[in-house]
Amino acid sequence: MKLKLIVGAVLAVAGLCGCATPKPEMTGNLHQELSQESFYLPNAEASRVVSVSTNGVAAANILVQTHRVAVKETGPKETVEKFGEVYTFSPNFFAVRREEPTKIRFWNLQPDDNHAFMLISPSSQVLMHSALPPLKETAYLFTFHEEGLYSFVCSQHPNAMFGQILVLPPRSP
């Protein structure tokens, strides 16, 4: 519940600051349309904390997949009735090194569900938000410039899909 409140507050602030401003041509279900596209990467201020690009040379490579834990068709009836469909990121915790470019590949393994990756700094600032479309791989090259414990969450399933990235000091020369 606490995480859901934090994510809601962060999304509201992001909307107020213009980070999540929809495109004028969007019509219909705004939530669905926003969830199907990447609507912001780190701005200038957030880039001091983490740089994100779609290409470059990676020193490390991490694969994060989406998984169904319980679904209406096959999940335990009590679980689905209480929680609905349940998803997870796997792994939901990993460590990277500060100033070490790390390619993180996200694979949404569900054919019928959209997911999203929202990166949150140790000071609770939303750094980026990216759509994870069904049956697609979405990859970014992250370079963290500050050590600490970063959170990530699926903005569509915040109660079930969340994790952490521990940014460690650089390797000793």
Tokens found for residue 88: 């997870």
Q: Rounded distance, CA 172 to CA 43, Å?
A: 30
pLDDT in tens, 91-143: 999 999 999 999 999 999 988 889 999 999 999 999 999 999 999 999 999 99
Encode pLDDT of 60-103 as tens digits. 999 999 987 765 555 556 665 666 667 899 999 999 999 999 99
Q: pTM for this one?
A: 0.73
> Within its chain, how far is the Cα of 16 from the centroid?
20
Contact 106, 137 (CB under 8 A): yes
For residue 109, which of 151, 64, 161, 76 has the smallest C-alpha distance? 64
Domains belonging to the chain, first-starting first, are 2-17+37-168 (2.60.40.420)
